Amino acid sequence: MKLNKTVFSLALGALLFTGCSGVAKEVNTDPGSSDGIAQPLTNVPGDPANGAKLAVNKKKGNCIACHYLPDSDFPGNAGPNLVEAMREYDRSVPWIRQKIVDPKVDNADTLMFTFYSNEGKKMVRKDWQGGKRVLTAQEVEDVIAYLLTFRNQEM
């Protein structure tokens, strides 16, 4: 069972994984550790309802391409079930934020791509080059707020 939790934790690390009128902050998105990004990317709290929409939007978050989320048609299973992951593993919000912003910081071999930071990346799609991001800063915070809603739900 311990091995399964370790594998699940590693898979979650490979995973985790956007507005509003909030002003984006300048944030160090490469802290050089697996501790994550402590400060929110905006001054506006995340909106879980918008995060839920982004998680299933194929042109934005598209979390369901690889992960199970409730109320989604044909969720993927390449990554961990995000509902179970949020309920069973006490990951910090900074850790979750790091996985969405740039999961390669602490796992260079992850298949999960970056949703916010393309700095220093090779093989970035042409339409995402030049500083364009998949998710805005506010959208990252919205997805985090959505994922956090699973922590206190009954199983």
In a domain, 153, yes or no: no
CATH label of the domain that carries residue 92? 1.10.760.10
> In angstroms, what is the C-alpha Rg of the chain?
15
Q: Is residue 27 part of a domain?
A: no
Q: Residue 112: which domain range?
A: 2-17+38-148
Is residue 26 assigned to a domain? Answer: no
Q: How many angstroms separate the Cα of 1 from the Cα of each of 6, 7, 89?
A: 9, 10, 14
Distance CA 57, CA 65 (A): 10
120 within domain boundaries = yes
Evaluate whether residue 155 is within a structural domain.
Answer: no
Residues β-bridged to residue 24: 42
Does residue 140 sit within a domain? yes
pTM over 0.95? The answer is no
Domain presence at residue 29:
no
Least Cα distance to 137 among 86, 97, 91 occurs for: 97
Residue holding tokens 């879980």?
Answer: 48
Highest mean pLDDT among 111-115, 122-126, 147-151: 147-151
Rounded-to-integer distance, Cα 145 and Cα 126, Å: 30
Q: Tell me the per-residue pLDDT of 26-85, one tens digit each, with 9 for 90 and over.
A: 444 444 455 899 999 999 999 999 999 999 998 887 888 889 998 878 888 888 899 998
Question: Measuring CA to CA, how many Å separate 120 from each of 38, 114, 131, 141?
Answer: 21, 11, 11, 23
Residue 154 within a domain: no
Structural tokens at position 33: 């550790």
- Report the number of distinct structural domains present in the chain: 1
Cα separation of the two ends of the chain: 20
Q: What is the pLDDT of residue 46?
A: 97
